[in-house]
Amino acid sequence: MEQVRSLPIPARGTLLSVEQAMQLAISEAYKGGPRVSPNPLVGSVVLDREGRFLACGYHEFYGGPHAEVNALKNLSDEELKDAHVIVTLEPCAHEGKTPSCAKMIAKLPVKKVTFGLIDPNPLVAGQGAAILHKVGIQADVFTSADKKLEQQIKTQLEEVCEAFLWNFRQKKVFVALKMASSLDGQVALKSGESQWITGPESREFVHYIRSCYDAILVGKGTIEFDDPSLNIRHPQIEKKNKVVVIDGEAELLAKFPDLKLAQIHDMQDVFWCVAADLKEEAQAKVAKMSKAPQMVFVKTNVGGDLDLEDLLAQLYQLGLRSVLVEGGAMTASSFVAQCLVNRIWMFQAPIIMGSGGSRSWTETVRIDQMKNKIQIRNPRYQTFGGDFMITGTL
């Protein structure tokens, strides 16, 4: 399956450098993409005493065994004698839904543990390593003699669990933005027509990306025009996702029962965001429905638009940890203009739509001087059929 990073699993016995092993652990971690939220994505690789590949594993689903457990589970003590365990995140010190990984490894005859990131929780950071040190196992944060490669890998290590880190550090929803535009940056004609800008290869990858976030967020215009399913349709992924709809003035709410959304999703998975001023009116509409979405009443700002920060804060309270904003043009533009986007997934098709009769995804973004432009950090590029995709953080 095409995923964010995807390396083949080497044959047993293949000699790997610690850098190669860490990159493989990152690739493994991504396999948990659709299922681990709100836990972090974690991957692990085990090398024998001579640095040869033995096994790998990843955190597969929320509440399930951690990556190290999956990597180590089929290896004998003989195989693990003086082995080297590589893991993207510091082995946990505490018992949670599963036993402590550090304590589990401490019982094994391994020689060395290299982890990518220290536990982000300052209260327990370093405690996993300390448990290992106590029994004579070397446990160190990943470094490399090749400082450029080290920096690249550290960036990837942060990226693979970026939503978790953001949630933990900021107590906020991680916001990703997915856009499909023409080469001239247009996402829809003025008529609203936008299907299909990109090709089938891009669209399959978009369903994979959808699976990596808790919810898909759209403005009401997108629903009015396309009546989309907003679910995950990928040959190798089965996952129910949540949906967030922004309908500030509650205009679309009355039509909710007729939408494809209402047929496909469980009602506890659909969040309908309306201005707080319209609470009673909206509740009256909902009361008449045989099935109704979860209502989220959001503060409005001076312009009368929903306050997106309040909206995100409420979604966080409701248990959502990440959303993928998928449009339309104005919704995307509002998130960008208010600097609320953590990661962008931008697909571009090799077509020209002409800005004279179509809509950009940054209409409300105004930059007065080039030095104030919005930089996309750590950009990466990938092609899908005739399209290309750029992703990076904002």
Interacting residues toward a second copy by CB under 8 A: 181-186, 189, 191, 193-197, 333, 336-337, 344, 346, 348, 350-358, 360-370, 373-376, 379, 381, 383, 386, 388, 390, 392, 394
CB of residue 372 vs a second copy: minimum separation in angstroms? 9
Nearer to a second copy by Cβ, of 162 and 269: the residue is 162
Of the pair 144, 364, the CB lying nearest a second copy is at 364
Q: Quick one: tokens of 86? A: 């590589």
CB nearer a second copy, residue 110 or residue 349: 349
- For tokens 């020689």, the residue is 111
d(CA 215, CA 237): 15
CB nearer to a second copy: give 113 or 197: 197
d(CA 19, CA 147): 11
**Minimum gap (Å) between residue 333 Cβ and a second copy:** 8
Task: For the CB of residue 347, give the shortest distance to a second copy in the complex, in Å.
Answer: 11
Q: Is residue 215 within 8 Å of residue 243, measured between CB atoms?
A: yes
Phi/psi for 366 (5° steps) reads: -125, 125
CA distance 294 to 110: 50
Strand pairing report for 343-348 and 387-393: antiparallel
Q: Are 90 and 115 in contact (CB under 8 A)?
A: yes
Query: Is the Cα dihedral 363, 364, 368, 373 positive or negative?
Result: negative
Q: Which of 115, 122, 47 is nearest to 84 (CA)?
A: 47
Residue (224 or 310) nearer to a second copy, CB: 224
* Catalytic residue set: 68
